[in-house]
Amino acid sequence: MEPAERAALVENALAILRENDRGAYTVPTRGLYPFQWNWDSCLTALGLGHHDEDRAWREIETLFGHQWPDGMVPHIVFHVPDDGYFPGPDVWRTKRPVPTSGITQPAVAGFAVRRLFERARDPAMAAARARPLLAAIDRWHQWFFAHRDPAGEGLVAIIHPWESGRDNSIDWDEALARVPRDGIEPYARRDLQHADAAHRPTDADYDRFVWLLERFRGLGWDNARLHDASPFQVVDPGFNAILIRSCHDLAALAERLGDDELAARNRAFAERGLAALESLWSEAAGQYLACDRTTGRLVESCSIGGLLAAFAPIPARRAEALGRRIAALGERAGHLVPSHDPADARFDARRYWRGPIWLICNYMIADGLAAAGEDVIARRIGADSIDLIGKSGFAEYYDPLTAEPCGGGRFTWTAAMVLEFLKTTGEQPGDRG
Ligand code: DGY
């Protein structure tokens, strides 16, 4: 890439981060997502860190300032009122001092904090900022295994599709079909005021999202009860891989900072999780698959969830197989990595998580594959990501067949990931320690 082209991309990405900056946190995009989202913030912090380390740490500190007493870190913090989003705090009714949602999201914080720490230009500041976060993230990890893995399997279940961050993935169709649609309070979607309905989840999906929310609200958001009371319990390889990677990275960071007990606990979570992840491998699919915990069966759905497993330090033969699988997807789609296999009749190129490409997934998959020595495919993913930006700007997600931009525009984490891809282009594979 020409230096001028690269400079323009960086300038555009920074402009988007500035535009969506609300001082101590960043909104994913104006209009569609006007609050702080959990994994958006942690990944955005990596982008912020390139130019302002203090601001990057603050992004994560703000999120953890709203951690629940039981250790959960909610998926949305409603810092300021905004009518443009449904469901708002009046629907969640979680009774937190600053309103939050009542469910969580993929646990990328341990990974993000280690990366910020290791890149820090100011190591003393980084150590001072990392220590309290280390303890808070550890509490969150303990919360996951206590409340989302009650039988001690080593893997956690999501109890609401929103927890995965991949709201309408085909992976959830079967389990979500068991969730009723009736008996919910009347509501009006707001997302369709900001984005094309053909790019968003359907009304039937939304009814079930709301049903689950109301079920958990009816149980007073008591996490000791929610898992068993949920008709939706899915063990997702992507969600677990992110948690495993965060446990692994938190352990490495704790060792650096001299907290051996915390390190040992998180190392054990990661090792147990990695061993259990094997139960989600499908030789026939050539990738990991989700498991429906209520039936005990693997879900026949080849989505990006199974490819995100590459983000965890999985065995080399698995990383190699995922690399091959992604290369095969590249032959079916113009760009990598589609969130669902285009060969599946349920694939929908523009509908949110049923086909489109998301740069955060590209980043995590490429990072894991590079660390496993799968450089060629990791580089292809990076190159495709930058190519999408050149063709279609900083969208929320992209049609993998045509590169068309979808969902919201001027998207924060897309901008952050572009800064990350530009930084890592040509660098050595990431260190897994
Ligand atoms: C939404 O509202 O679309 C979010 O994905 C839920 O967090």
b/e sequence 204-235, b meaning 16+ C-beta within 10 Å: ebbbbbbbbbebbeeeebebeebbeebebbbb
Q: Contact, 314 vs 271, CB < 8 A?
A: no
CATH of 3-423, one of 1.50.10.10, 1.10.760.10, 3.60.15.10, 2.130.10.10: 1.50.10.10
Q: Which of 77, 105, 160, 162 to mutate to test the pocket of ligand 1 (most atoms within 8 A of CB)?
A: 162
> Which residue of the set 40, 59, 167, 341 is catalytic?
167
Please state, rounded to an integer, the average pLDDT across all residues of the chain. Answer: 96
Strand partners, 406: 397
Atom 4 of ligand 1, residue of closest alpha carbon: 162
Which ligand 1 atom minimizes the distance to the CA of 209?
Answer: 6
Mean pLDDT across 343-350 = 98
Residue 2 pLDDT class (50, 70, 90 cuts): confident
Which ligand 1 atom minimizes the distance to the CA of 85?
Answer: 2
Positive or negative: CA dihedral 412, 414, 420, 423:
negative
Decide if 167 is catalytic.
yes
pLDDT top residue among 432 and 134: 134
Q: What is the pLDDT of residue 139?
A: 98
- For residue 166, the CA-to-ligand 1 centroid distance in Å is 9
CB of 35 within 6 A of ligand 1: the answer is no
- For residue 162, the CA-to-ligand 1 centroid distance in Å is 6
Count of beta carbons in the 10 Å neighbourhood of residue 3: 7
Residue boundaries of the structural domains of the chain: 3-423
Name residues whose C-beta falls within 8 Å of residue 403's C-beta, 6 or more positions apart in sequence: 334, 335, 387, 388, 391, 392
Q: What is the pTM of this model?
A: 0.97
In percent, the amount of the chain with pLDDT more than 70 equals 98
Mean pLDDT across 369-383 = 97
Residue 211 pLDDT class (50, 70, 90 cuts): very high
Q: What is the pLDDT of residue 423?
A: 87
Tens digits of residue pLDDT in 113-135:
999 999 999 999 999 999 999 99
Tens digits of residue pLDDT in 79-110:
999 999 999 999 999 999 999 999 999 999 99
CB of 335 within 6 A of ligand 1: the answer is no
- For residue 393, the CA-to-ligand 1 centroid distance in Å is 22
Tens digits of residue pLDDT in 163-210:
999 999 999 999 999 999 999 999 999 999 999 999 999 999 999 999
Q: What is the pLDDT of residue 426?
A: 40
Which ligand 1 atom minimizes the distance to the CA of 87?
Answer: 2
pLDDT exceeds cutoff 80 at 429: no
pLDDT exceeds cutoff 60 at 144: yes
Atom 7 of ligand 1, residue of closest alpha carbon: 162
Tens digits of residue pLDDT in 328-341:
999 999 899 999 99
